[in-house]
C-alpha cells in the first residue's frame, strides 16, 4: 500500500530466552569460563568474572577458544558487531565496521554479493519520523486516505470513528526501527532501535533492510514500487509479499541460526525443534502488532499489514526448501498473480492456479442517479479471509475464502451512504456453495436483525438501515451491501450482472419462506 519499505522492531520479547546474563566460553583444553562480556576484538575476548561489586577481568585469546555459547569466535564477534550497528554512540568508524559485518552475513546467507557498498546513516527517531511523514505525503493525500477508510469501514475491518490517518502515521513512525529508501539508495537506522535485543544476536532490523538494499541493486525497487500502481490491488499485495518475504526469510534465518547454535548448549532438543522459521516469523510479527492502535478492529487490519512479511516469508521459505536460492531467483522472472498463490504456494509452484478472467461491469446507472464512485478493485483471497475472520471463527473463515478464482468490487456513495458490490468467481461448485452460504452467515453477523427472503439461488435481506443481496450463478456469487434502501437500484445491479433480481425471485417462488 505504501511506497517506502519499512520493518517493525519485532525481536524485543522473542529474544529474551537468549539474552544471557553471562557468557560461557568453551576452551580447546576442555575448560569453561563464564563471565560478563566486557570487550572483544579480532584477536581476543575479555570477560569480567567478578561477583557483586568485585571486578575480575580476564582476556582469552582467539586461538584458545573452541566455542562461545555454541558459536565460533568469528560468528560471535560478527553477531556482537551487528548488534552494535543499531547501538551507535558516535564512533563512526566502529559503526561502519559493524555495518560491513552485517553486509557479509547477508551476502553469505543469500549467496549474492552487493554490487556497491550500501549508503547508511544513523538518525534520531524524530528525524526518521519527519522523513517518513514526507514520504507518506508524497504517495497518499488526505483524499486517498479517506477513500481507503470508507472501503475498510464498509468491509468491516475498521470502526467508523477511527482516525485512520493517525493510525497510518503511527504505524509509519512509532514502530519503525530502520528502513531502506530506494529513491535515495540509502539505509537509515534509528539510534535506539535495538536497545532490547540480545548483544550476542545479529540485528534482524539491519539484516532485513540490507536485503532490501541488495534487492535494489539487482531489481531497482523504485521502479518495482511504481509498477505496483498499475496492477490489481491483490496482485500488488502478492508481489509486495515476495520483496518483503525474502527480506524477512533471510534476516530471520540468520538470527534463527544463531539462536539454535546459542541454544544448543542450554536448551532442550524439544525447544530447539520449536524454533522453526515459520513459527519464528509469525510469533515475532504478532509481537510487533501489540503496539498498534486499539482502533484496528478485530486485528484483521493488522493481519493485512503483516501479510507481506509473514505470508511472504513462508512463501519464500517454501521456494528455498524446494530448490534453494535458484528457485527463489526464478520467482522474480514470473511473480505470483494473487494472494491465493502466496497463501497456497503449491498453487504457484506445482499447479499454476491463475485468476479466472472476470469481466468488469459498467454501472452507469449509479452515476446517472447521483452516486459517486469511491473505489473499485480486487480484494483477493486474503482480504476476503480477513473480512470473514473478523466475524467468523478461523476454520470457517478459511473454508469461505479458499477456492477463490477472482473478484472485483465497486464502492459507490450517495449522501454519505455507501453501496458495496462484490462480484466473485470460484474454482469449483463446492467452493461456490461454501462462499454463497458463508456470505449469508457473515452478513447476519455483520448486520443485526436482518430479515431474509430466500430464492432458489439467492437471498435478499434487509433491516432498518441496510439492503443485502446474495446471488449464485454457476461458479459466480454476487454480494451487494447497500445502505441505500432502494430496491429498483438493487434490481438494476442484478440486471447488469445478469443475476436473478429480488423482484424476479419473489415472482418465481411466491411461497419462498422468510428465513432469519
Q: Is 273 exposed, middle or buried (0-12, 13-18, 19+ CB in 10 A)?
A: exposed
**Cα–Cα distance list, 273 to 115, 162, 263, 266, 269 (Å):** 36, 42, 11, 13, 6
Say if strands 65-68 and 23-27 run parallel, antiparallel, or are unpaired. Answer: antiparallel
Terminal Cα-to-Cα distance of the chain (whole angstroms): 38
Domain boundary among 68, 88, 104: 68
Residue 35 sits in a domain of what CATH number? 2.30.30
Residue located via cell numbers 531467483: 329
Helix ranges, 220-299 (H): 221-228, 233-263, 269-273, 277-289
Residue 350 lies in a domain: no
Say if strands 5-8 and 57-61 run parallel, antiparallel, or are unpaired. Answer: unpaired
Instruction: List residues bridging with 120 in a β-sheet.
Output: 187
C-alpha cell at 499: 443475476
Residue 346 lies in a domain: no
pLDDT along the chain (516 residues), means of 10: 35 32 83 86 88 82 89 82 60 68 92 93 81 75 86 89 80 74 86 53 80 93 85 93 94 82 61 61 63 57 82 94 96 96 97 92 92 95 94 94 97 96 98 97 95 90 95 96 92 87 49 44
Question: Are 423 and 309 found together in one domain?
Answer: no
C-alpha cell at 436: 454463497
Residue 356 lies in a domain: no
Question: Are 327 and 190 found together in one domain?
Answer: yes
Question: Are 306 and 435 found together in one domain?
Answer: no
Question: Are 50 and 93 found together in one domain?
Answer: no
Question: Are 170 and 267 found together in one domain?
Answer: yes
The domain in which residue 453 lies consists of 364-515
Helix ranges, 16-91 (H): 73-85
Residue 354 lies in a domain: no
Question: Are 26 and 13 found together in one domain?
Answer: no
Residue 414 sits in a domain of what CATH number? 3.40.1000
- Give the model's pLDDT for residue 254: 87
Residue 353 lies in a domain: no
DSSP 197: S
Question: Please, are residues 405 and 356 in contact by the beta-carbon 8 Å criterion?
Answer: yes
Question: Are 264 and 392 found together in one domain?
Answer: no
Neighbouring residues of 219: CB distance < 8 A, sequence distance ≥ 6: 332
Instruction: List residues bridging with 7 in a β-sheet.
Output: 178
Residue located via cell numbers 546467507: 109
**Number of compact structural domains in the chain:** 3
Provide the phi-psi class of 411: left if phi over 0, else alpha when psi is between -120 and 50, else beta.
beta
Domain boundary among 304, 339, 374: 339
Residue 509 lies in a domain: yes
The total of other beta-carbon atoms located within 10 Å of residue 55's CB is: 11
Say if strands 57-61 and 44-48 run parallel, antiparallel, or are unpaired. Answer: antiparallel
Residue 347 lies in a domain: no
Domain boundary among 289, 304, 339: 339
Question: Are 283 and 376 found together in one domain?
Answer: no
Question: Please, are residues 177 and 204 in contact by the beta-carbon 8 Å criterion?
Answer: no
Question: Are 44 and 109 found together in one domain?
Answer: no
**pTM of the prediction?**
0.81
Question: Are 386 and 411 found together in one domain?
Answer: yes
Question: Are 331 and 427 found together in one domain?
Answer: no
Tally of residues, the chain: 516
Question: Please, are residues 14 and 284 in contact by the beta-carbon 8 Å criterion?
Answer: yes
| CA atoms of 175 and 129, how far apart (whole Å) | 10
Residue 244 lies in a domain: yes
Nearest of 46, 48, 49 to residue 59 by alpha carbon: 46
Torsion of CA 489, 494, 495, 496, to 10 degrees: 90
Question: Are 464 and 397 found together in one domain?
Answer: yes
Amino acid at each position: 500500500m505504501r511506497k517506502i519499505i519499512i520493518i517493525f522492531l519485532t525481536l524485543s520479547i522473542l529474544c529474551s530466552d537468549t539474552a544471557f546474563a553471562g557468557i560461557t566460553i568453551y576452551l580447546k583444553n576442555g575448560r569453561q569460563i563464564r563471565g560478563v562480556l566486557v570487550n572483544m576484538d579480532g584477536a581476543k575476548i575479555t570477560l569480567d568474572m567478578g561477583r557483586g561489586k568485585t571486578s575480575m577481568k580476564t582476556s582469552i585469546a582467539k586461538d584458545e577458544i573452541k566455542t562461545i555459547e555454541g558459536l565460533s569466535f568469528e560468528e560471535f564477534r560478527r553477531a556482537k558487531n551487528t548488534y552494535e550497528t543499531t547501538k551507535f554512540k558516535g564512533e563512526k568508524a566502529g559503526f561502519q565496521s559493524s555495518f560491513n559485518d552485517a553486509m557479509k552475513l547477508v551476502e553469505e546467507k543469500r549467496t549474492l554479493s552487493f554490487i556497491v557498498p550500501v549508503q547508511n546513516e544513523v538518525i534520531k527517531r524524530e528525524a526518521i519520523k519527519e522523513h517518513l511523514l514526507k514520504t507518506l505525503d508524497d504517495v497518499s493525500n488526505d483524499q486517498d486516505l479517506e477513500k481507503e477508510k470508507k472501503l475498510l469501514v464498509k468491509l468491516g475491518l475498521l470502526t467508523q470513528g477511527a482516525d485512520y490517518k493517525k493510525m497510518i502515521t503511527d504505524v509509519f513512525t512509532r514502530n519503525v526501527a530502520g528502513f531502506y529508501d530506494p529513491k535515495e539508495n540509502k539505509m537509515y537506522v534509528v539510534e535506539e532501535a535495538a536497545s532490547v535485543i540480545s548483544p550476542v544476536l545479529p540485528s534482524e532490523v539491519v539484516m532485513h533492510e540490507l536485503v532490501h538494499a541488495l534487492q535494489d541493486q539487482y531489481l531497482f525497487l523504485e521502479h518495482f514500487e511504481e509498477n505496483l500502481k498499475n496492477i490489481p490491488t491483490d496482485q500488488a499485495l502478492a508481489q509486495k509479499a515476495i520483496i518483503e518475504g525474502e527480506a524477512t526469510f533471510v534476516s530471520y534465518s540468520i538470527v534463527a541460526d544463531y539462536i539454535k547454535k546459542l541454544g544448543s548448549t542450554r536448551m532442550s532438543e524439544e525447544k530447539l525443534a520449536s524454533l522453526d522459521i515459520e513459527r519464528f516469523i509469525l510469533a515475532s510479527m504478532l509481537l510487533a502488532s501489540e503496539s498498534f492502535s486499539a482502533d484496528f478492529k478485530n486485528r484483521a487490519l493488522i493481519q493485512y499489514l503483516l501479510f507481506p512479511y509473514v505470508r511472504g516469508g513462508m512463501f519464500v521459505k517454501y521456494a528455498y526448501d524446494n530448490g534453494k536460492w535458484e528457485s527463489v531467483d526464478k520467482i522474480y522472472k514470473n511473480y505470483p498473480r494473487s494472494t491465493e498463490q502466496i497463501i497456497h504456494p503449491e498453487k504457484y509452484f506445482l499447479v499454476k492456479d491463475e485468476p479466472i478472467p472476470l469481466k468488469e461491469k459498467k454501472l452507469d446507472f449509479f452515476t446517472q442517479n447521483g452516486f459517486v464512485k469511491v473505489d473499485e478493485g480486487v480484494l483477493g483471497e486474503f482480504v476476503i479471509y480477513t473480512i470473514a475472520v473478523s466475524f467468523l471463527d478461523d476454520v470457517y473463515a478459511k473454508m469461505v475464502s479458499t477456492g477463490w478464482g477472482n473478484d472485483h468490487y465497486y464502492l459507490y456513495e450517495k449522501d454519505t451512504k455507501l453501496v458495496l458490490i462484490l462480484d466473485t468467481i470460484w474454482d469449483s461448485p463446492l467452493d461456490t456453495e461454501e462462499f454463497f452460504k458463508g456470505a449469508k452467515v457473515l452478513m447476519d453477523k455483520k448486520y443485526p436483525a436482518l430479515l431474509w427472503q430466500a430464492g432458489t439461488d439467492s437471498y435478499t435481506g434487509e433491516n432498518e438501515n441496510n439492503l443485502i443481496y446474495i446471488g449464485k450463478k454457476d461458479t459466480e456469487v454476487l454480494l451487494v451491501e447497500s445502505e441505500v434502501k432502494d430496491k429498483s437500484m438493487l434490481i438494476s445491479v442484478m440486471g447488469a450482472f445478469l443475476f436473478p433480481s429480488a423482484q424476479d425471485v419473489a415472482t418465481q417462488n411466491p411461497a419462498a419462506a422468510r428465513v432469519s
